[in-house]
């Protein structure tokens, strides 16, 4: 769980499910397990209908996908509701749900930090302050902004690192999906991987980003329809919400009270590590610069909708603990009461209680046929939509930031759409290949997940300086980014191979014997600090671009015309951001 996992693509994989699942993989591959759930005919119909629906949607949207704007940007016609739900769903994966439900059994309400502190401030900042620069410049990708603001080499550096990271993450996602369904249902690994990969490849190739967005929104509703009932039934069986919270250890019911010292909470982090590492560097690094999620906002019909996209998503993000944490607390209470007859599965390799099995065990406990199929379909959709998100972001970055920028600068729009479709198929095949590599070498996942904090945490410093300090130079951005990535990578490797003594560890993490979670938070923080400082330093000794080249890209040189001033106060992004922030503060006070 948490104590074993580096921070990867923030929420989707920080849950700890990944390595926990990976550790189970060897045993699972040898068939040393029994399937938890069995599907009836009606459940199979539910699962099959999902595949029919998503491929049908892809076929339908094919007729509306003619241009590059259609294929890569969803036509830029979406409302903030559509883009906002897709923005959220691109991050909402099945692994996150399984992992954090299990994580709640160990850490209680603490898990909510990943949904609140670790998401909401960054999403609001993106909507209020960064989106005008992204959207107004009509770029196709985040690396595209780096080209306009800095230069080609910085764009290429980010494009290549993002493309590699995305493909590897896509492969891991595919592998773990096959693993989960093998463990839960006894499905064949190879069939799971190839069938889901083929379906994803089919509907993304047909409808591009719009297909991905449609299926992500379908996934959002399936997750609520298929999994929220588990929490409701658990609360009913336990006798109501008060009984769920009754007799919980104090540290499981609080968000902040145990963060004064790392030793006071099971996660081993302090409030400073949480605020700096999770709340600032990792959260902002992920939500404001990761093209996988930001691409959904780019599909909005106008700037006001684009700004509202992450703000709209923030409300739904704050609601997710009602599924995840709620189910985790129910499972925790059920295991404490002998009369309930509820046990987690033993971990296939260690034999200890396997927290990631909590949600499937609750489904098995409460759901009749039909609902079992719906719950499984919700998890399946969670895996597949995440996969599709990776592939659609990869094909855009490859096509615009690598192919068009380096290989074929004069490519026509129609040719780029063709390249995007071919890239989708190639990306899917590379994901499958990565999945097979991960299947053979489980330890490789440890490295792959860490890539996020090497790539995105420093990138946030580059973006922040680029958007808010016009003195930032192209050389500063490039060398600062490289320095930040190397430092983050170096700290990761240093801890991994025990190269740091207690003194260095204390300097780096404020703890003599830091937990892996603490290391990960500080590793990202140091990467950000070095990138931030290095960029400023180099910028002070190099020549900045003239103001005329930075109009629309830097604060103070931007004419912000998003139409917000023309709409009523209740339609403005700032109003809804304030409401979202108020809800966040209330939630933190309630569970302080």
Footprint of another protein (CB under 8 A): 40-43, 45-46, 49, 53, 57, 60-64, 77, 82, 210, 213-214, 217-218, 221-222, 225, 229, 233, 236-237, 364-374
Q: Which is nearer to another protein, 237 or 446 (CB)?
A: 237
Residues 6+ apart with CB under 8 A from 162: 142, 143, 291, 393, 397, 455
Closest contact distance (angstroms) between CB of 81 and another protein is 9
Closest contact distance (angstroms) between CB of 544 and another protein is 44
Closest contact distance (angstroms) between CB of 127 and another protein is 21
Closest contact distance (angstroms) between CB of 132 and another protein is 26
Asked if 209 and 392 count as a contact pair (C-beta separation under 8 A), the reply is: yes
Closest contact distance (angstroms) between CB of 130 and another protein is 26
Is residue 305 classed as helix, strand or coil in its secondary structure? helix
Measured distance CA(277)–CA(519) in Å, rounded: 10
Measured distance CA(533)–CA(537) in Å, rounded: 6
Measured distance CA(523)–CA(347) in Å, rounded: 30
Closest contact distance (angstroms) between CB of 86 and another protein is 9
Determine the angle formed by the axes of helices 80-89 and 189-238, rounding to 10 degrees: 100
Closest contact distance (angstroms) between CB of 378 and another protein is 10
Asked if 54 and 215 count as a contact pair (C-beta separation under 8 A), the reply is: yes
Asked if 305 and 548 count as a contact pair (C-beta separation under 8 A), the reply is: no
Q: Which is nearer to another protein, 3 or 302 (CB)?
A: 302
DSSP 457-525: HHHHHHHHHHHH-TT--HHHHHHHHHHHHHHHHHHHHHHHTT---HHHHHHHHS-SS--HHHHHHHHHH
Residues 6+ apart with CB under 8 A from 333: 238, 243, 244, 248
Q: Which is nearer to another protein, 83 or 529 (CB)?
A: 83
Q: Which is nearer to another protein, 194 or 228 (CB)?
A: 228
Q: Which is nearer to another protein, 43 or 96 (CB)?
A: 43
Q: Which is nearer to another protein, 60 or 418 (CB)?
A: 60
Measured distance CA(562)–CA(134) in Å, rounded: 12
Measured distance CA(262)–CA(514) in Å, rounded: 9
Measured distance CA(90)–CA(394) in Å, rounded: 13
Closest contact distance (angstroms) between CB of 37 and another protein is 12
Q: Which is nearer to another protein, 231 or 515 (CB)?
A: 231
Q: Which is nearer to another protein, 131 or 229 (CB)?
A: 229
Q: Which is nearer to another protein, 10 or 235 (CB)?
A: 235
Q: Which is nearer to another protein, 48 or 582 (CB)?
A: 48
Q: Which is nearer to another protein, 51 or 162 (CB)?
A: 51
Measured distance CA(155)–CA(63) in Å, rounded: 33
Nearest to 144 by CA among 560, 466, 476: 466
Measured distance CA(83)–CA(90) in Å, rounded: 10
Closest contact distance (angstroms) between CB of 502 and another protein is 50
Closest contact distance (angstroms) between CB of 72 and another protein is 16
- 473 φ/ψ angles, rounded to the nearest 5 degrees: -100, 165
Closest contact distance (angstroms) between CB of 124 and another protein is 25
Q: How many CB atoms lie within 10 A of CB 346?
A: 13
Measured distance CA(61)–CA(82) in Å, rounded: 15
Cα distances (Å, whole numbers) of residue 513 to 282, 488, 504, 542: 22, 19, 10, 41
Give, rounded to a whole angstrom, the gap between the first and last alpha carbons of the chain: 24
């Amino acid at each position: 769980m948490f104590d074993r996992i580096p921070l990867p693509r923030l929420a989707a994989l920080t849950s700890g499910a990944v390595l926990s699942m990976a550790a189970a993989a060897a045993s699972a591959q040898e068939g040393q397990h029994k399937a938890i759930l069995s599907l009836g005919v009606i459940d199979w119909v539910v699962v099959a209908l999902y595949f029919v629906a998503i491929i049908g949607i892809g076929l339908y949207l094919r007729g509306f996908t003619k241009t590059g704007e259609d294929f890569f940007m969803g036509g830029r016609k979406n409302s903030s509701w559509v883009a906002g739900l897709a923005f959220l769903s691109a991050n909402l994966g099945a692994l996150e749900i399984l992992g954090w439900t299990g994580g709640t059994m160990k850490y209680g309400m603490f898990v909510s930090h990943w949904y609140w502190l670790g998401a909401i401030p960054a999403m609001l900042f993106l909507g209020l302050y960064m989106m005008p620069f992204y959207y107004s410049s009509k770029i196709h990708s985040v690396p595209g902004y780096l080209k306009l603001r800095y230069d080609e080499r910085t764009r290429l550096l980010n494009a290549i690192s993002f493309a590699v990271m995305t493909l590897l993450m896509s492969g891991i996602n595919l592998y773990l999906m096959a693993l989960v369904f093998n463990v839960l249902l006894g499905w064949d690994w190879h069939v799971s991987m190839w069938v889901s990969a083929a379906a994803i490849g089919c509907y993304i190739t047909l409808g591009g980003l719009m297909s991905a967005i449609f299926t992500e929104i379908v996934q959002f509703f399936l997750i609520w329809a298929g999994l929220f009932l588990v929490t409701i039934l658990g609360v009913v069986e336990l006798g109501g919400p008060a009984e769920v919270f009754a007799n919980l250890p104090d540290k499981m019911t609080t968000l902040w009270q145990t963060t004064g010292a790392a030793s006071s909470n099971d996660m081993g982090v302090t409030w400073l590590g949480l605020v700096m590492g999770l709340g600032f560097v990792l959260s902002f690094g992920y939500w404001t610069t990761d093209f996988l999620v930001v691409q959904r906002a780019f599909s909005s019909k106008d700037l006001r909708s684009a700004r509202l996209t992450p703000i709209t998503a923030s409300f739904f993000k704050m609601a997710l603990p009602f599924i995840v944490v709620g189910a985790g607390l129910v499972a925790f209470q059920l295991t404490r009461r002998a009369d309930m007859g509820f046990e987690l599965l033993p971990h296939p390799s260690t034999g200890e209680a396997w927290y990631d099995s909590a949600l499937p065990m609750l489904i098995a406990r409460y759901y009749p046929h039909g609902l079992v199929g719906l719950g499984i379909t919700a998890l399946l959709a969670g895996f597949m939509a995440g996969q599709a998100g990776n592939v659609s972001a990869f094909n855009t970055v490859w096509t615009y930031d690598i192919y068009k920028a380096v290989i074929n600068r004069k490519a026509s729009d129609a040719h780029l759409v063709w390249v995007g479709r071919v890239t989708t198929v190639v990306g899917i095949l590379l994901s499958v290949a990565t999945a097979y590599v991960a299947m053979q070498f489980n330890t490789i996942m440890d490295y792959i997940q860490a890539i996020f904090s090497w790539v995105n945490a420093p990138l946030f410093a580059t973006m922040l300086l680029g958007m808010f300090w016009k003195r930032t130079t192209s050389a500063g951005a490039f060398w600062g980014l490289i320095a930040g990535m190397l430092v983050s990578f170096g700290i990761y490797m240093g801890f991994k191979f025990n190269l740091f003594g207690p003194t260095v560890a204390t300097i780096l993490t404020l703890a003599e014997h830091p937990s892996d979670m603490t290391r990960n938070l500080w590793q990202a923080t140091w990467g950000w600090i070095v990138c931030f400082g290095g960029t400023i330093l180099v910028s002070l000794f190099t020549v900045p671009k003239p103001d005329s080249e930075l109009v629309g890209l830097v604060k103070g040189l931007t004419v912000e015309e998003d139409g917000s001033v023309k709409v009523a106060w209740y339609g403005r992004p700032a109003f809804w951001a304030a409401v979202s922030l108020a809800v966040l503060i209330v939630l933190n006070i309630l569970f302080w």
